[in-house]
A and B are shown apart, each in its own frame.
Chain A
Amino acid sequence: MSWILAAPIIIPFATAVLAFLFRHGPEGRWISVLGSAALLVSAAILMTNVLAGGVVAAQMGQWPAPFGITLVADLLSAVMVVITGITGLAVAIYALADVDERKEQLGYHALYQVLLAGVCGAFLTGDLFNLYVWFEVMLISSFGLLVMGGNRQQLDGGIKYVTLNLVSTILFLSGIGLLYGMTGTLNMADLHSAVQNVENPGLLVVVAVMFMIAFGVKAAVFPLFFWLPASYHTPAISVSAIFAGLLTKVGVYALFRMFTLVFTTDVAYTHTILLWVAGFTMVTGVLGAAAMNDFRRILSFHIVSQIGYMILGLALFTPLALVGAVFYLVHHIIVKANLFLVAGVARRIAGSTELSQIGGLYKTAPLLALLFLIPAFSLAGFPPLSGFWAKYVLVKAALEDGGYVIAGVALVVGLLTIYSMTKIWGNAFWKPHPAGVHPTLSSIAPKDLAALILPIAALATLTCIIGLFPEPFIQFATASADQLLNPEAYIQAVLGADAPGLALAEVTP
């Protein structure tokens, strides 16, 4: 059983080693594509196992939980690994045409695979300190990818990204130390019951807030998001896309895990903070985007704004809200990575990502216009697309919970999202090109064009499928939210059937 859980971590690492060895030839990039495809297959196998048999857990090195390192996958972990596989493969194909040889020789593909390994490890681990280690794996490879090539803007953005993320890891580490001091365990399933017996519940809330800040920096929530719009528009397009799709979502996932499984002792306090954070994150993100005039910078601020919706689902902490949040998480990764990929193609044929410098794409590259329209309007929440269902469920959950103000905020932010998407549309697609250039897709070499358009089209199709047939996805999100709110199955899978905390495992929403 354990290899099913370990494969999504081992495959990218093995691919990274091979890709590094072959970094001087064209083999390296194809190894990266093959490795990402293998990751997707292993993720699919994991998903079928979790769907068929419930939560899957394995103890690494045969050390029994809670002493050893546990890998565990419930529905949320499994779907996150699958999405990592999908996005990873799409961006690896895109990188065939996007990443130049100099970066390949510096080890781009190896770092990229290490990044995927770190992300999958963070989704699959059931041990808090191990989560810290995966965060570091992810961080160090993202540092490398971000500043690779070393132009001045990259270094400038890199400084802010590196310093603020390092502060967050220190807070995470201190939180781990204090939590261990109070409970004597670091296994997340074991912590669920151990925190109920802590002598000083007030101190536990302090530690909970430390974790909230640490993961909040990673997830880029208000007021901790400043590193994101400073850095995400500077690296290569494929790096931007994978960062935008996956990295902040690891922070969101960690918040979900900790604040449904461990820190549920004082929901009224902690989740109220999260609710305020969610509201401010949505508003500041979308206002920041409205002020920007660059394709990628608008999209970067929208990441922040969209994170607010996911945190909103966690903060409301009702079954329906968590359904919306899980659905939103899945939909958002696909859409956001895709928008960055489109921005890359637009830059390639029109010459810039600065909206005042480009134009005319609708007339001369209608296919690209269509491929932009799908993720852009999905992000804004137009009815037949996936974003509509995600927002609909969340707003409905907020209204049912009596949160009329936050529901109103969510709707207004949706409107403002449309505003900045139409700004991109009007400037990059409708307006004639200021330099008189007629940007066409045929100006790209056919081989490159396939590598660029194929992943965009595939992700757009996926967005349409989720939008047109939302029922199975909503059902999946419902089952996943149910597992989050009733973690008995998770605890039983990790600790065994006679786990001491099972009697206490009732979470009241």
Chain B
Amino acid sequence: MELLVAIMVGVLVAASVHLMLARNVLRFLFGLVLISNAANLTIFVAGRLTPESPPLIPYDADVPVADVANALPQALVLTAIVIGFGLFAFALTLVYRTYQNLGTLNSDEMRLAEPEDDTHVAAENKTYIAREAGQ
């Protein structure tokens, strides 16, 4: 069982690395989703897989009577899923806004913050003095 999950993690990571090496930022994001799921599965399998023994304590007992599944990795994975979901939602919005503003998803063409020719930045920065003087 552990072996199967481990192989699955491997496949997910391989696929996500392939996606993340693309120049298209959207493909990168899809790779990120896959690799974050691979990380979650890693935590899950690191807590050892114990099928058919849910971590439940009988009503009249203080401790579980038999061996039960480790509940901690599940709690960790749950937290990580929620956080990952929020971050992905943000990243997706950011990519969409970037596409609207820059008109491209190709990361090679995103050179506004670090232009190859620095004089362009200088030209854009000139606007500041007009704005500050106008205040």
Residues of A within 8 A of B (CB): 129, 132-133, 136, 139-140, 143, 147, 150, 152-160, 162-163, 166-167, 169-170, 173-174, 176-178, 180-182, 229-231, 233-234, 292-294, 347-354, 356-357, 435, 437
| B98 interface neighbour in A139, A156, A350, A353, Cβ under 8 Å | A156
Question: Contacts A354-B125, A357-B122 given: A170-B35 contact, CB under 8 Å?
Answer: yes
Docked-complex contact A352 and B122, CB < 8 angstroms = yes
Assess whether A162 is in contact with B113, with CB atoms less than 8 Å apart.
no
| Chain A residues whose C-beta falls within 8 Å of the C-beta of B94 in the assembled complex | 143, 147, 155, 158-159, 162
Q: Is B46's beta carbon under 8 Å from chain A?
A: yes
**Most B CB atoms within 10 A — which of A129, A177, A350?**
A177
Is B65's CB within 8 Å of the partner chain A? Answer: no
Contact partner of B91 among A156, A163, A350, CB < 8 A? A163
Given contacts A347-B128, A352-B129, A354-B125, contact A150 B101 (CB under 8 A): yes
Q: How far is the CA of A350 from the CA of B114 in the complex (A)?
A: 22
Q: Which residue of B lies closest to A445 (CB)?
A: B135
CB pair B102–A173 under 8 Å, yes or no, is no
Residues on the B chain within 8 Å of A357, using CB: 122, 125-126
The 5 A-B pairs at the shortest CB distance, nearest first, are namely A181-B46, A351-B129, A177-B43, A157-B113, A156-B112
A233: which B residues are within 8 A, CB to CB? 113
Q: Which of A163, A178, A234, A354 contacts B113 (CB 8 A)?
A: A234
Asked if B32 is at the interface of the complex by the 8 Å CB criterion, the answer is yes
Asked if residues A180 and B102 are in contact (CB atoms below 8 Å), the reply is: no
Given contact pairs A159-B107, A166-B87, A181-B47, A352 touches B126 in the complex (Cβ within 8 A): yes
| B38 to chain A: closest residue by CB | A174
Q: Which of A143, A178, A351 contacts B126 (CB 8 A)?
A: A351
CA distance A132 to B81 in the complex (A): 13
- Say yes or no: A150-B97 contact (C-beta < 8 A), given A162-B91, A352-B128: yes
Q: Within the assembled complex, what's the spacing in Å between the Cα atoms of A348 and B130?
A: 10
B42 CB within 8 Å of chain A: yes
Query: How far is B32's CA from A163's CA once the two chains are assembled, in angstroms?
Result: 9
Judge if B30 is at the interface, Cβ distance under 8 Å: no
Q: Does B19 contact A (CB under 8 A)?
A: no
* Across-interface contacts of A174 in B (CB, < 8 A): 38-39, 42-43
Number of B residues, CB within 8 Å of A? 48
Contact A180 B128 (CB under 8 A): no
**Which residues in B have their C-beta under 8 angstroms from that of A158?**
94, 98
Set of chain B residues within 8 Å of A159, measured between Cβ atoms:
25, 94-95, 98, 107, 110
Please state if B121 and A140 are interface contacts (CB–CB under 8 Å): no
Q: Is the CB of A176 within 8 A of B118?
A: no
19 further A-B pairs in the complex, CB-CB below 8 A; given A129-B79, A181-B46, A351-B125: A155-B102, A156-B111, A156-B112, A159-B94, A160-B107, A163-B29, A166-B87, A173-B39, A173-B40, A173-B80, A174-B38, A177-B43, A181-B45, A348-B128, A351-B128, A352-B122, A352-B125, A356-B122, A357-B122
A167 to B64, CA, bound (A): 38
Is B8's CB within 8 Å of the partner chain A?
no
Binary contact track B114-135/A, C-beta < 8 Å → 1, others 0: 1000100110111011001000
* Per-residue interface assignment for chain B, residues 72 to 100, with 1 indicating a CB less than 8 Å from any chain A CB and 0 otherwise: 11001001100100110011001101100
Least CB distance, A314 to chain B, in whole angstroms: 26
Please, which residues of chain B bring their CB within 8 A of the CB of A294? 118, 121
Interface string of B2-45 (1 = CB under 8 A from A): 00000000000000000010000100110010011011101111
Task: Name the A residues within 8 Å of B107 (CB-CB).
Answer: 159-160
A354 touches B47 (CB 8 A): no
Complex CA distance for A357 and B119, rounded to whole angstroms: 10
Is A348 a contact of B132 with CB atoms below 8 Å? yes
What are 16 of the A-B contact pairs (CB < 8 Å)?
A132-B80, A150-B97, A152-B101, A154-B113, A156-B112, A159-B107, A160-B107, A162-B91, A174-B39, A180-B46, A233-B113, A348-B132, A351-B126, A352-B125, A353-B125, A437-B129
CB distance from A86 to the nearest CB of B (A): 28
Distance between Cα atoms of A292 and B132 in the complex (Å): 25
Distance in angstroms from A228 CB to nearest chain B CB is: 11
Q: Which residues from A are CB-within-8-Å of B72? A: 180
Known contacts A155-B98, A159-B95, A173-B43; is A167 also within 8 Å of B32 by CB?
yes
Closest to A234 in B: B113
- Closest B residue to A139 by beta carbon equals B87
Contact of B112 among A152, A178, A350 (CB under 8 A): A152
Flag if B122 contacts A354 (CB, 8 Å).
yes
Query: A144: nearest residue on chain B (CB-CB)?
Result: B90
Given contacts A155-B98, A348-B132, contact A129 B76 (CB under 8 A): yes
Q: Which residues of B contact A181 (CB under 8 A)?
A: 45-48
CA distance A181 to B47 in the complex (A): 6
**Contacting pair B86 A140 (CB below 8 A):** yes
Residues of B within 8 A of A153 (CB): 112-113, 124
Asked if B110 and A156 sit within 8 Å, CB to CB, the answer is yes
A147 to B42, CA, bound (A): 32
- Are B121 and A354 in contact, with the CB atoms below 8 A? yes
CB-CB < 8 A to B40: which residues of A? Answer: 173
Contact A163:B28 (CB < 8 A) given known A153-B113, A156-B113: yes
Closest to B93 in A: A147
Q: What is the CB-to-nearest-CB distance from B81 to chain A, in angstroms, rounded to a whole number?
A: 11
Q: Which of A139, A167, A177 contacts B46 (CB under 8 A)? A: A177
The distance in angstroms between the C-alpha atoms of A224 and B20, with both chains bound, is 16
Q: Which of A167, A177, A182, A349 contacts B42 (CB 8 A)?
A: A177
Asked if residues A230 and B118 are in contact (CB atoms below 8 Å), the reply is: no
Measured CA separation A480–B62 after assembly (Å) = 43
Q: Which residue from chain A places its CB closest to the CB of B13 in the assembled complex? A: A174
Alpha-carbon separation in the docked complex, A162 to B90 (Å) = 9
Q: How far is the CA of A132 from the CA of B20 in the complex (A)?
A: 22
CA separation between A351 and B29, bound complex, in Å? Answer: 37
| Chain A residues whose C-beta falls within 8 Å of the C-beta of B97 in the assembled complex | 147, 150, 155
Cβ distance A456 to chain B, nearest Cβ, rounded Å: 18
